[in-house]
């Protein structure tokens, strides 16, 4: 068995695997990983990755996370040490095609967890699976309940009202199962009495809405903030689909990437839980509009709430309690909202649109 493992290890190249690599988070993650990591990056997505991303990866593949055979074929050449499983159908899209979302978000995640478990068993060391979840896992029954709750911890109010939220919450539970109890009754189980000794080292970071200066989101329900900023920078009018007083947590994309990598790098025995809240600030849509107008005085922003999307935003918390992430692995926001505009968003966005013209 030992010899077989080491022979396999020699044949297969150690690699870090990323799904959904062509998305907003994938862009930031690959850029950061490729400058700081010695292990080869193998990236995959349903769609072609742009040339810049491809050049930062050892290999890139077109692959559907729902296609287990395709994943097995492409990973048969690698010893996967770490997986960043980003592929997902986001909240707004998921409400248009809930069964497709379930297929991708849940079955795709099961495929990834199974691959991690098989590789972990084959090489006798846990494979790290880093999984971004979302504030969509929460669900308040009323705006009054949301306001009263204030900053919520990881395990309160987890009653999602969207398919995406249901999928993410279930995948958090699946990850915990694969990390702590996978095949707990099987004869050949490698689990010992120590619950941390699973074949999958699952780590989940629950993102708030993300704001990137480089990429524009599609398909999410927190997109109103990044859309507002990018529209103003392009000199376009923007009609916001939620009320001015709508408040949910956000952070910038670089902060989300840094936090994700910090969680991934934390010693396993420092992690007291599977799921961690992270966020930097909690502005209302109206407060963001005011700041946008400060930096782009010509910005034309109006509010025409779409009642159906508003209900979803109202079911998400206005702030997150991130104290466990702070204590366990040193999470710390880099910016207040004002600093995010001043030091990151505005300079980068202006530069980006200037260079595009």
Ligand X SMILES: NC(=O)c1ccc[n+]([C@@H]2O[C@H](COP(=O)([O-])OP(=O)(O)OC[C@H]3O[C@@H](n4cnc5c(N)ncnc54)[C@H](O)[C@@H]3O)[C@@H](O)[C@H]2O)c1
Q: By C-beta, is 214 or 245 nearer to ligand X? A: 214
Q: By C-beta, is 134 or 280 nearer to ligand X? A: 134
Cα-Cα-Cα-Cα torsion 138, 90, 61, 83, nearest 10 degrees, comes to -10
Here the tokens at position 317 are 């918390």
Cα separation, 357 vs 353, in Å, equals: 6
Least distance (Å) between residue 68 CB and ligand X? 12
Cα separation, 270 vs 319, in Å, equals: 25
Q: By C-beta, is 121 or 259 nearer to ligand X? A: 259
Contact between 250 and 208 (Cβ < 8 Å): yes
Residue nearest to ligand X (CB): 23
Least distance (Å) between residue 17 CB and ligand X? 12
Least distance (Å) between residue 54 CB and ligand X? 14
Least distance (Å) between residue 311 CB and ligand X? 18
Q: By C-beta, is 126 or 132 nearer to ligand X? A: 132
Q: By C-beta, is 135 or 299 nearer to ligand X? A: 135
Least distance (Å) between residue 46 CB and ligand X? 4
Here the tokens at position 54 are 């491809």
Least distance (Å) between residue 220 CB and ligand X? 5
Residues that bind ligand X (CB under 6 A): 19-20, 22-26, 45-47, 64-66, 86-90, 104, 108, 132, 134, 207, 209-210, 217, 219-220, 222
Instruction: Report which of 247, 220, 255, 216 is spatially closest to residue 232, judged by C-alpha positions.
Output: 216
Least distance (Å) between residue 234 CB and ligand X? 19
Least distance (Å) between residue 214 CB and ligand X? 12
Letter string b/e over residues 10-21, b meaning 16 or more CB atoms within 10 A of that residue's CB: eebeebbbbbbb
Q: By C-beta, is 207 or 331 nearer to ligand X? A: 207
Cα separation, 149 vs 145, in Å, equals: 6
- Using left for φ > 0, alpha for ψ between -120 and 50, and beta otherwise, residue 66 falls in alpha
Distances (CA, A) of 316 to 208, 249, 268, 336: 10, 9, 30, 20
Here the tokens at position 236 are 């376009």
Sign of CA dihedral 159, 150, 251, 283: positive
Cα separation, 44 vs 33, in Å, equals: 15
The most distant pair of C-alpha atoms in the chain lies apart, rounded to whole Å, by: 69
E strand map for 212-268? 238-240, 250-252
Q: How many CB atoms lie within 10 A of CB 155?
A: 9
Q: By C-beta, is 179 or 248 nearer to ligand X? A: 248
Least distance (Å) between residue 331 CB and ligand X? 16
Cα separation, 83 vs 111, in Å, equals: 12
Q: By C-beta, is 121 or 258 nearer to ligand X? A: 258
Q: By C-beta, is 106 or 210 nearer to ligand X? A: 210
């Amino acid at each position: 068995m030992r010899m077989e493992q080491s022979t396999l290890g020699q044949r297969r190249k150690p690699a870090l695997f990323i799904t959904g690599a062509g998305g907003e988070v994938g862009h930031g993650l690959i850029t950061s990983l490729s400058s700081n990591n010695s292990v080869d990056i193998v990236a995959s997505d349903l769609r072609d990755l742009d040339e810049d991303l491809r050049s930062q990866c050892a290999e890139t593949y077109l692959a559907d996370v729902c296609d287990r055979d395709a994943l097995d074929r492409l990973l048969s050449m690698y010893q996967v040490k770490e997986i960043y499983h980003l592929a997902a159908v986001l909240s707004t899209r998921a409400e248009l095609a809930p069964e497709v979302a379930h297929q991708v978000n849940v079955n795709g995640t099961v495929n990834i967890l199974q691959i991690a478990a098989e590789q972990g068993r084959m090489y006798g060391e846990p494979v790290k699976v880093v999984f971004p979840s979302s504030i969509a896992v929460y669900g308040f029954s009323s705006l009054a309940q949301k306001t009263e709750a204030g900053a919520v911890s990881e395990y309160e109010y987890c009653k999602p009202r969207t398919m995406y939220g249901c999928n993410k919450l279930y995948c958090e539970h699946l990850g915990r199962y694969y990390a702590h109890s996978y095949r707990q009754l099987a004869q050949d189980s490698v689990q010992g009495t120590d619950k941390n000794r699973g074949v999958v080292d699952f780590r989940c970071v629950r993102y708030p809405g993300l704001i990137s200066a480089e990429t524009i989101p599609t398909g999410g329900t927190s997109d109103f903030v990044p859309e507002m900023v990018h529209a103003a920078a392009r000199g376009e009018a923007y009609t916001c689909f939620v009320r001015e007083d709508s408040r949910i947590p956000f952070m910038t994309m670089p902060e989300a990437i840094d936090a994700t990598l910090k969680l991934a790098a934390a010693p396993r025995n420092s992690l007291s839980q599977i799921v961690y809240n992270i966020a930097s600030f909690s502005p209302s849509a109206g407060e963001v509009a005011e700041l946008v107008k400060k930096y782009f005085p010509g910005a034309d922003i109006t509010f025409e709430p779409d009642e159906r999307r508003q209900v979803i935003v109202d079911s998400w918390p206005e702030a997150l309690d991130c104290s466990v992430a702070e204590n366990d692995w040193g999470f710390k926001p880099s910016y207040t909202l004002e600093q995010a505009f001043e030091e990151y968003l505005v300079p980068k966005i202006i530069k980006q649109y200037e260079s595009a013209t």
